[in-house]
Amino acid sequence: NAGVTQTPKFQVLKTGQSMTLQCAQDMNHEYMSWYRQDPGMGLRLIHYSVGAGITDQGEVPNGYNVSRSTTEDFPLRLLSAAPSQTSVYFCASQRTAGPTSNQPQHFGDGTRLSIL
C-alpha cells in the first residue's frame, strides 16, 4: 500500500521560479489537503478539496494554486516562489468529507522546499 505519495522530497528554487509539488493517493479518498509546516507554527492549511473538480482555500492560500482533475491527484503550484514559502509541505487525504467526519488524515512524507 503506497498511501499518500509526495514528489519531490527535496527542492531548491530561486526567487521568482515556479514549480509544482505532486501528491497522489491510491486509497480512493474523497478529501485531500495541502499543509505547510513551519517551526513553532504547527501545520497550516493551504488548500483543500472535497472531491474531483472541487477545491477551496485554507488558512494560508496566497501564492499557491491547486486543481483536482482526478480523485487520485492533487498538485500544488507555486506561482512565483518567495523566500517566505521556504517550508515543509505535507499532502494529506481522508476517506470522505463531511461536517461530522472524525476520520483520520493520512499524510505523505513531505516535500522540503527552500527558496533562495
Partner 1 sequence: TQLLEQSPQFLSIQEGENLTVYCNSSSVFSSLQWYRQEPGEGPVLLVTVVTGGEVKKLKRLTFQFGDARKDSSLHITAAQPGDTGLYLCAGRKTSGSRLTFGEGTQLTVNP
Binding site residues, partner 1, CB under 8 A: 4, 31, 33, 35, 40-45, 48, 50, 58, 90, 92, 94, 97-102, 104-105, 107-110
Between 9 and 69, name the residue whose CB sits nearer to partner 1: 9
Complex with partner 1: residue 14 or 100, whichever CB lies closer? 100
Q: Which residues pair with 19 in a beta bridge?
A: 78
- Which segments of 10-98 are extended strands (E)? 10-13, 19-25, 31-37, 43-51, 54-57, 64-66, 76-78, 87-94
Least separation in angstroms between CB 56 and partner 1: 9
Which residue number, 4 or 81, has a Cβ lying nearer to partner 1? 4
